[in-house]
Structure 1
Amino acid sequence: MKHLFLLILIAFIHTNTFSQEKVLTKTGITTFEASVPSFEEVKATNKNSGCVLNTKTGEIVGLLMMKAFKFKLALMEEHFNENYIESDKYPKGIFKGKIINFNINKLTSQSQDFTITGTMEIHGKTKEISITAKISKQENTIFLNSNFDLNTDDFNIDLPILIRSKVAKKVNVQIDYSLK
């Protein structure tokens, strides 16, 4: 799967423009939480999230492998991959979009709010989304952080009746990427 991820990143870099116009990470951190009060924490982290940003156009692509999400409990991870996300059938999540009014020359070490619009594909379903991200730049690194919600119904992720009261349909997603 790592090879697939690298091939996609390389293809994206080579097919659009010169590599100086691109910054990327393959070690971005994506965390999601679908916990509900009074039940076990439902939280996972993926420390191998990939992201490529075209610094000239503001176009951005994110890719994460579903099996790279790690849970506190191994059984939760197994259920996530086998029953809910069906990682063998839908191995990755993909975001393709654009940062509105992005201008790399105006970035500073102070985070600025930007709107990012695009499509999120998870579990074989695609949905238009718009999120707010904090973006800053220090030396040759662009920092991108965001906190947003996704709904499991939008991606046809079916939660069995036995766990519906224990897992939130509204999933909080946090991203923390350092792009070079």
Structure 2
Amino acid sequence: MKRLLILFTLLTSIGIFAQSKYLTKTGKVTFEASVPSFEEVKATNKNTTAIINTENGEFAALVLVKGFRFKNALMEEHFNENYAESDDYPKATFKGTIANFSMDELSASNIKSYSGSITFHGKTKTLDNESLNIKKQTDGSLLIKGELKLNVADFDIEIPKIVSNKLSSEVNVSYEFVLNKK
């Protein structure tokens, strides 16, 4: 009987702990490095994994670099081989914490700040006091979306002189994650 009580307590504790995590494997990350009057340089990855711990606001995301899709297949090839070097650096990650996060205080729309670090192309950049929008949806899932700007030089990505006027050195990144209870 004592073992049964211990087993019941352990299983209940695991169930309660699991409810504090929300997860997606179908998050969307888009980046754009276009400049006016030239071909659009934009790609989207719709298979981003993201997780949030609702007890403390810790948030993480993982993007497989080869998962970015461009309109132009040749541009995708150049991105993977010459810029991202995705065979050597197959993933990009973000780890951080949403400030003052509380599930009880979420409403239709909440602008929150976060700090953390993003790793891409083998280099890590610290992000401080960035903004995102997080809301609890009617189905119980969490919607997290936002935008940020990154400089390619921060990740040791060199743009060849021959195409430097066709690519922006500042990249606009947007993300959208619908996370469900794990």
Alignment of 1:51-90 (within 5 A): 51-90=50-89
TM-score (norm 1): 0.88
Letter in 1 for 2:173: V
Q: How far 1:18 moved relative to its partner?
A: 2.6
Q: Which residue of 2 aligns with 1:123?
A: 121
Distance 1:91 1:111 in 2: 34
For residues 129-165 of structure 1, give each alpha carbon's deviation from its aligned partner in whole angstroms, at most 9, with x where no partner exists: 1321011001320000101101100010111111111
> Where in structure 2 are there 5+ consecutive unaligned residues?
1-15
Q: Which residue of 2 aligns with 1:112?
A: 110
Q: Which residue of 2 aligns with 1:163?
A: 163
Structural RMSD (CA):
1.0
Asked if residue 41 in structure 1 is aligned to residue 45 in structure 2, the reply is: no
TM-score (norm 2): 0.88
Alignment of 1:135-150 (within 5 A): 135-138=134-137, 139-150=139-150
Q: How far 1:19 moved relative to its partner?
A: 1.8
Q: After the TM superposition, which of the residue ranges 17-26 and 40-49 deviates more from structure 2?
A: 17-26
Q: Which residue of 2 aligns with 1:14?
A: none
Which 4+ residue blocks in structure 1 deviate beyond 2 angstroms? Answer: none
Distance 2:156 2:165 in 1: 17
Q: Which residue of 1 aligns with 2:176?
A: 176
Secondary structure in 2 aligned to 1:18? helix
Letter in 1 for 2:124: T
Distance 1:56 1:142 in 2: 14
Based on CA coordinates, which of the two structures has the bigger radius of gyration? Answer: 2
Letter in 1 for 2:117: T
Letter in 2 for 1:80: F
Letter in 1 for 2:144: L
> Where in structure 1 are there 5+ consecutive unaligned residues?
1-16
Percent identical across equivalent pairs? Answer: 49
